Structure 1
């Protein structure tokens, strides 16, 4: 099984203005998403939600600045690290991942140890 990162991109303004009931609904949807993975033969290895971009600190070379690199409508808000049979399997899982007002990105994890051993 390979590892894939499902990156959740969403509109921070939508989260900031969402009613408490909507927030609870989204959390329940994430709970259902996590339950569905086992039935699909995939496994969550880790996940976290991220604080808003105004809490970010960016580093380029030796320059450190407050905030993200660029202003965007959708920001990285969290991730799931999953184990799936292949990319098609990971994409099937990602299609079930709830977001409020955005989308998800799926990226394979690069096994640098396997490449170094080759």
Structure 2
């Protein structure tokens, strides 16, 4: 079964940017985590999102579209990234999420209902 692991985090945390001091050290744990998923046959895809201030939300109501600058919900934590994994069951998906090298975060694990390219 496929699961989406949604990474909700505060945007005030400073993460090293490519080329900055500490970036390679910061990324080493993430690359090891990615390799663990790949080696275990769990990795499908992943991505880190730009900050929520770069978001544009399209809201549709009664056939009318409205564009809104910013994310859908104004909350303390924002969707910062995701992993799409394959796991035998929810327990394995939760174990994969728990192994993620990140602190002060909320990880939402949700089964994928349908993904056309997986057929």
Number of residue pairs aligned between Structure 1 and Structure 2: 110
Per the alignment, residue 52 of structure 2 pairs with 53
Q: Judging by fraction of residues, say which structure has more helix.
A: 1
Per the alignment, residue 43 of structure 1 pairs with 42
Deviations 1:58-92 (A, max 9, x none): 11111111101222221111111001111111011
User: CA distance change for structure 1 residues 3 and 86 in 2, over 3 Å: closer, same or farther?
Assistant: same
**2-structure distance, mates of 1:17, 1:45:** 25
**1-structure distance, mates of 2:102, 2:8:** 8
Root mean square deviation, CA, Å = 2.4
Is 2:97 aligned against 1:98? no
Give the alignment partner of residue 72 of structure 2, picking from 64, 69, 75: 69
TM-score (norm 2): 0.79
- In the TM superposition, residue 96 of structure 1 has moved relative to its aligned partner by 0.5
Q: Contact between 1:9 and 1:99, CA under 8 Å: does it hold in 2?
A: no
TM-score (norm 1): 0.79
Question: Tell me, which stretches of 5 or more residues in structure 2 are unaligned?
Answer: none
Per the alignment, residue 116 of structure 1 pairs with none
User: CA distance change for structure 1 residues 72 and 25 in 2, over 3 Å: closer, same or farther?
Assistant: farther
Is 2:7 aligned against 1:4? no
